[in-house]
Amino acid sequence: MSIHIQARTVRHSTAAQFASIVPSITSAPSLVPTPPRRFTEGPAISTPTIESRPKAFELFHHEKPFKLHLGGILPQFEIGYETWGTLNERKDNVILLTTGLSASPHAKSHLGNRKDGWWEKFIGPGLPVDTSKYFVICTNVLGGCFGSTGPSSINPLASEKANKPIRYGMSFPMVTIWDMVRAQFRLLDHLGIKRVHSVVGSSMGGMQSLAAAALYPDRVDRIISISAAARTHPYSIALRHVQRQVLMNDPGWQGGNYYDTDQFPSNGLSMARQIGTITYRSGPEWEVRFGRKRANTKFERNFKPDFMIETYLLHQGKKWLGQYDPNSLLYISRAMDMFDMADRPLRDPNDANALQDPIASNQCLLDLEAEDALLLDEKTQTDYLHTHYLTNGMSTIQCPVLVIGVKSDFLIPSWQQKEIATCLKAAGNAQVTHFELDGVFGHDTFLLDFANVGTAVKGHLDIDLKHPVPGEWHI
């Protein structure tokens, strides 16, 4: 016997600027979007009630205070998520799909939202993430703006004190990848799911998959990490720093207090997105796609956008307006900067008794106490001559792992995926498979290369754990 749960996703009403994802401050204090006004399918003669319409998303509400890794506390939080497929009776066919920096939980279209999801071609019956076998859950991360609690959410404590709705804004506490993962596992607890078949993620999602397996080794059967890093490289930090600076220097940002005002940091958000787009794709692709083509050969030569690559970047920047909260960009990008598996927390701040062994029982590491004091103090800093700190941080990950990198990715270079695989093997994990893909799509390969990425993902999800095939492959 199986339990079927209707697929749902976060969807926001359309309106100018940020009003499309954040309701008026006079509305209910939540990010729950207005239900769709009508079915987009079925006979027109039947107009169902709101209660009978397919829901666009599911919302998990955690009512207790939630302590964060860096010391902050959320008095409560919500997680927006959607699901596909059927949860079996044992509740052991679950795939937790984790997202990148800007992605919503809408990875696949369904009755509640017919718009194509960001991994549309990868999810479904018979596809790499096979919904005829697996029950797939995709969440919006803590700090986001697609249903989950973030800077645009109502601050319940401040609102109670002021006797009116007050948004968090920049008073929202700093969040980390560890916090995002712990919030997701609170959702799994709520759904009665004790183990997941796999955690699958790309980019920041790949960081989350590593963190999930490290924090919950007894609850994760296998993981897939695509175009991710075990620790953020200074080059990636520098790029995101520039994104944040152009955003915060827009007068419309107003110190993060642009909510419910007549100003919005449109230029800053657009520029930040354009910078991001440059890092997501690669030069070889753009050489083929755009070359030096002009948008209009009849235009007078001046400093307005002239080349097609320029108009493409402008288009990408405008697409984000009204779809993403600038403050969420600040918080989530900083969480990526801070991520370092060498800094794996040994306990959950919400449970003082939940200590974890930092070293796997079958592993012998260097005596860290004998290391140079300076190196010990900076063990979470980038030090590529001393990867044993990373090895130590990933030592609890002993499940089968698929790591995929892309040669043309310069945001998170392929050597960083090789570093993940190398450290996992050094930590005693004998079930590590590493693929390095060729191609011209750069960091966004996980969205575009269905043949190679899809085949590798499906193989890892479906392989019999009794006969693993670890190794290193170049495609």
pLDDT in tens, 182-225: 999 999 999 999 999 999 999 999 999 999 999 999 999 999 99
Question: Is pLDDT at 57 greater than 70 in this prediction?
Answer: yes
Q: Calculate mean pLDDT across residues 41-69.
A: 67
Sign of CA dihedral 30, 81, 106, 113: negative
Rounded CA gap, 143 and 179, in Å?
10
Give the range among 93-102, 324-333, 374-383, 386-395 with minimum mean pLDDT: 374-383
Mean pLDDT of 38-55: 39
d(CA 210, CA 419): 13
Q: Is the pLDDT of residue 323 over 50?
A: yes
Any idea which residues carry the catalytic annotation?
A: 203, 409, 443
Rounded CA gap, 228 and 442, in Å? 12
Q: What sign does the CA torsion over 281, 310, 22, 13 have?
A: negative
Res 367: pLDDT: 41
Kindly state the DSSP code that residue 53 receives in the 8-state scheme. S
Dist. CA 136–CA 123, nearest whole Å: 9
Please give the model's pTM, rounded to 2 decimal places. Answer: 0.83
Query: Does 41 score more than 80 pLDDT?
Result: no
Assess whether pLDDT exceeds 50 at residue 15.
Answer: no
- Give the confidence band of 47 by pLDDT, cuts at 50, 70, 90: very low
Q: Give me the mean pLDDT over the 445-466 stretch.
A: 85
Distance CA 146, CA 127 (A): 26
Rounded mean pLDDT, 286-312: 85
Q: Evaluate whether 81 touches 147 at the Cβ level (below 8 Å).
A: yes
